[in-house]
Structure 1
Amino acid sequence: MKILVLCRGNSCRSQMAEYFLRSYDPRLEVRSAGLNPVEELHPLVLQVMMEKGIEMRWARPESLTAYLWVAFDFVIHVCPCQNQFSHYFRGAAKRIRLNLEDPGALEGTPEQQLAHFRKVRDQIDKDMKAFYISQLRPLLDRERPLNQGWPWFNHEQVVSAS
């Protein structure tokens, strides 16, 4: 199952969504990209994701042009700039549109910024987990149940409905 997560800069929201989805199930092939990718991830992304046990130090923003010829099963838009992506990835079986706040756009004290990043991170985790449980896992289980090929992996421990 191939999934692409898109946003404008590929420095915060799309990266968090990509790594949350990857953490739920080894059968998922997830990538993220941006229309105008920045040079590097926002440092608070690394911090708040590490708080959830997800290591992202090797993640790098990528341009959506790297994936123009890849057939994705799902394309997820995580920012309000969705119309800018409308002519890309027409072959995607399904599009998911989320309008998540850009945590990097908030100005304030370091404590306020960190709190905002945590809030957005938790919303992304909630949304991606719901998407995985309701749509992805049923499709994946029909194609290849987890107990066939990954006997050591128990996704019930990783992703619960709560």
Structure 2
Amino acid sequence: MKKIYFLCTGNSCRSQMAEGYAHSLLPKADFEIRSAGIETHGLNPRAVKVMAEDDIDISNQTSDLIDMEYFKNADLIITLCGDAKDKCPTIPIGITHIHWELQDPAQATGSEEEILSEFRNTRDLIKDKVHEIV
């Protein structure tokens, strides 16, 4: 079973959406999937909302710090922002690392609809990238 670890700053939006899509799109018998952050900011309700729009329920996922044991034993580590890429522990030799530079939708400003639009754009980018793993 291959282990995938999605990492971003606060494990509240981007990595949570990636984990949700990976659970939905990748065969459960072949992959163990987790997400974490270099900090924990709690699960962002807007991320939950836009994922639900695509029939993916992430409401029971939790915002977690990096688990070093899982990190050291992962087959694939995907960082979803520069902060995580720059601040995460050194990735051990032999572990594949991919970096997805994604803007943090939680930093979006404007009306609620404009902010949700940013979340949807990020969600759609993540979905496309998770499909590439498949």
TM-score (norm 2): 0.91
Partner deviation per Cα, 1:71-118 (whole Å, 9 max, x = no partner): 00000000011121142x415520011100100001110010011110
Paired with 2:51 and 2:35, the residues of 1 have a C-alpha distance of 16
Aligned partner of residue 118 in structure 1, secondary structure: helix
**In 2, Cα distance between the equivalents of 1:118 and 1:8?**
19
**Structure 1 pair 92–83 and aligned structure 2 pair: CA distance change class (3 A):** farther
- Counterpart residue type for residue 68 of structure 1: M
Q: CA deviation at 1:131?
A: 2.2
**Residue 72 of structure 1 contacts residue 92 of structure 1 at CA under 8 Å; is this kept in 2?**
no
CA displacement at 1:47 relative to structure 2: 0.6
Residues 1:98 and 2:100 are matched in the alignment: yes
List aligned pairs for 1:135-154, cutoff 5 A: none
Matching residue of 2:37: 34
The residue aligned with 2:8 is: 7
Q: Percent identity?
A: 32
The number of aligned residues is 128
The unaligned stretches of length 5 or more in structure 2 are none
Q: List 4+ stretches of structure 1 deviating above 4 A.
A: none
Structure richer in strand, relative to its length: 2
Contact 1:74 1:94 survives alignment (8 Å): yes
Q: TM-score, normalised by structure 1?
A: 0.75
* Aligned residue type for 2:69: W
Question: Is residue 2:18 matched to residue 1:17?
Answer: yes
Q: Quick one: structure 1 residues 21 and 92, their matched pair in 2 at CA, closer, same or farther if it must change by over 3 Å?
A: farther
8 A Cα contact 1:74 1:92, kept in partner:
no
Which of 117, 121, 124 matches 1:122?
Answer: 124
Task: Select between 68-77 and 18-27 the one with higher mean Cα deviation.
Answer: 18-27
Q: Distance in 1 between matches of 2:11 and 2:94?
A: 20
The aligned counterpart of 2:68 is 68
AA matched with 1:102: D
Query: RMSD of the TM alignment (CA)?
Result: 1.2
CA distance in 2, matches of 1:58, 1:8: 19
